[in-house]
């Protein structure tokens, strides 16, 4: 069994990886850890420096995730893509044909009362309507089973 995990080193991505390992460890899956560094639209020197910084952060996060998988006695492989995360993750599933794709739902949910939660809900809905999200994009297009971990 091959499980592809979209991983960016965020808190939610770490939780999704840990939960995936807990859930599927008995099946001894190979983990395909995919990270995407977003390319900038112009090629100024400043943007190139920011891209290289993001690339190195993604690479370090993936290496950390791979070490975690090794500690859990699971085989893993690191894949780094460059570009739009939605399209690159979709392309990765088409090229590598995993048995399952795992992603964590992104959350910017702050702690707080009903006003903060309502504002967060409004922003999430606006974000979804205007830009879509990676999980929403993939849920409509990916050709393998998809597991989306909700944000805690």
Q: What are the boundaries of each domain within the chain? A: 2-149
pLDDT digits (tens, 9 = 90+) for 61-92: 999 999 999 999 999 999 999 999 999 999 99
Region 43-70: mean pLDDT is 89
Region 31-39: mean pLDDT is 92
Among 139, 87, 105, 146, CA closest to 13: 105
DSSP string, 3-64: EEEE--S-HHHHHHHHHHHHHHGGG-PEEEEEEEEPPPSS--HHHHHHHHHHHHHHHHHHHH
pLDDT for res 123? 60
**What mean pLDDT value characterizes the chain?**
85
Length of the chain as a residue count: 152
pLDDT for res 135? 86
Region 129-142: mean pLDDT is 77
Instruction: Report the topology of domain 2-149.
Output: Rossmann fold (3.40.50)
Enter the pTM of the model: 0.81
Region 101-124: mean pLDDT is 64
């Amino acid at each position: 069994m091959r499980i592809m995990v979209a991983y960016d080193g965020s808190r939610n991505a770490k939780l999704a990886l840990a939960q995936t390992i807990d859930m599927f460890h008995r099946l001894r899956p190979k983990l395909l850890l995919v990270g995407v560094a977003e390319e900038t639209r112009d090629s100024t020197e400043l943007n190139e420096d920011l891209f290289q910084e993001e690339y190195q952060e993604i690479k370090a996060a993936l290496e950390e995730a791979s070490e975690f998988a090794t500690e859990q006695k699971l085989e893993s492989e690191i894949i780094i893509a460059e570009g739009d995360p939605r399209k690159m993750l979709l392309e990765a599933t088409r090229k590598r044909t995993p048995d399952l794709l795992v992603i964590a739902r992104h959350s910017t949910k702050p702690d707080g009362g009903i006003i903060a939660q309502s504002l967060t809900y409004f922003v999430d809905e606006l974000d979804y309507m205007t830009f879509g999200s990676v999980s929403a994009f993939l849920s409509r297009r990916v050709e393998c089973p998809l597991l989306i971990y909700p944000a805690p």
